[in-house]
Amino acid sequence: MRVLVTGGAGYIGSHIVLELMELGHEIIIVDDMEKGNEANLFPENEFIKGEIQDPEILKKAFAKKVDAVFHFAAWKAAGESMTDPLKYTMNNLNGTFTLLNAMIQYGCQYIVFSSSAAVYGAPKYLPIDENHPLQPENYYGYTKLCIEENLEWFDKLKGLKSARLRYFNAAGYDPKGRIKGIEKTPANLLPIIMEAAAGIRKGFEIFGNDYETEDGTCVRDYIHVSDLAKAHVLALDYIMAKKESLTVNLGSESGYSVKEMADLSEKVVGKQIPHKTGPRRLGDPAKLLASSKKARQVLNWTPIYSDAETLLSSMWNLYKNL
Ligand code: UFG
């Protein structure tokens, strides 16, 4: 198959590219390289540098028949989306609509969409399944929900089949070490801890220790990016075989607190990592936990790298050499 991966030089996109390469697909990557990393571009794949908002770039990408699209090109910092929403309107919404338009124009019927648990907002119950109310608490989450809803319409109106994959806390790096470029300017806990461990930053801060959890710090569901990658190819197989769209959560179904992750990181890297405890970050729920029952049943998907130590080791293997 010939597949287009938008954002294919980025953190999650590059791991899906690896999975697709293992399966022998012909791959074309569109990435504007703002967050993408040169080191994660593989010479055997076709690469077009540019924005998905640019129809001329998409014209090049669809010059030869594309069988399916994996769509990762988007901003993903929830905090930033509240202070600079238009940045998210343009890239996440406008970019996706331009892409969908091109798919219809050039006759491509299948898209795997990188969505987020941010579509749920503050949890009303745990674990969060796909029937949980959809009330995003930040603009980033809203852009993901808006696209999911439009994908529903494009299915009804144009027969476009989509897999909308709602990730929980994506983390980790390729266990085989093939990804060499780290995420640029990370805003998430684990890459920040790793940067502190590697001396790229002085230390890190735990945002609040007075939550109603066992140790007072927030609990999250971390899922290894290589497990996510596997789910993407299974999801594409599903929508192509069944000719129906799909929405699923992707999480490990196990929760770790910020403090547990900090302690385990020190164990994995074998030294103390400077950190202090600060105030809560606005908008953080105490606990998030996925139900991935649907993905397990429908896709026959099982995470294999997502226990905390495997996940952290896969990160440290990269960061320790920086
Ligand atoms: N945290 C710190 N210090 C930091 C960074 C984060 O203590 O320097 C804490 C946060 O307060 C939170 C936890 O670590 O309690 C995880 O925070 P992240 O920023 O890594 O991730 P979030 O849980 O806020 O959000 C992530 C994705 C969202 C997704 C969500 C779903 O960024 O897109 O997981 O679980 F929706």
Using a 6 Å cutoff on CB, does residue 252 contact ligand 1? no
| Distance from residue 188's CA to the centre of ligand 1 (Å) | 5
User: Do residues 18 and 24 touch, judged by C-beta distance below 8 A?
Assistant: no
End-to-end distance of the chain based on CA atoms, in angstroms? Answer: 36
Q: Provide the greatest CA pair distance for the chain.
A: 56
Q: Looking at residue 53, what is its pLDDT?
A: 98
Ramachandran angles phi, psi of 273, nearest 5°: -115, 120
User: Do residues 61 and 28 touch, judged by C-beta distance below 8 A?
Assistant: yes
| Distance from residue 189's CA to the centre of ligand 1 (Å) | 6
Catalytic residue among 140, 167, 238, 256: 140
- What is the spatial distance between Cα 173 and Cα 84, in angstroms, rounded to a whole number? 29
Q: Looking at residue 102, what is its pLDDT?
A: 98
300: which 2 tokens? 């026959």
Task: Give the start-end residues of each E strand in 129-195.
Answer: 161-167, 169-171
Question: Which amino acid is residue 217, in one-letter code?
Answer: T
Which residue has the least CA distance to atom 14 on ligand 1? 189
Cα 224 to the chain's mean position, in Å? 10
Q: Looking at residue 235, what is its pLDDT?
A: 98
User: Do residues 190 and 168 touch, judged by C-beta distance below 8 A?
Assistant: no
DSSP secondary structure of 297-317 = HHH----SS-SHHHHHHHHHH
Which residue has the least CA distance to atom 16 on ligand 1? 189
Q: Looking at residue 282, what is its pLDDT?
A: 87
Q: Looking at residue 169, what is its pLDDT?
A: 98
For every one of its 322 residues, what pLDDT tens digit does the chain have, with 9 covering 90 and above? Answer: 999 999 999 999 999 999 999 999 999 999 999 999 999 999 999 999 999 999 999 999 999 999 999 999 999 999 899 999 999 999 999 999 999 999 999 999 999 999 999 999 999 999 999 999 999 999 999 999 999 999 999 999 999 999 999 999 999 999 999 999 999 889 999 999 999 999 999 999 999 999 999 999 999 999 999 999 999 999 999 999 999 999 999 999 999 999 999 999 999 999 999 999 999 998 899 999 999 999 999 999 999 999 999 999 999 999 999 8
User: Model-level pTM?
Assistant: 0.97
Using a 6 Å cutoff on CB, does residue 62 contact ligand 1? no
Task: With residue 38 as reference, give the H or E element that holds it.
Answer: none
Among 115, 134, 189, residue to substitute to test ligand 1 (most atoms within 8 Å of Cβ)? 189
Tell me 144's DSSP state. H
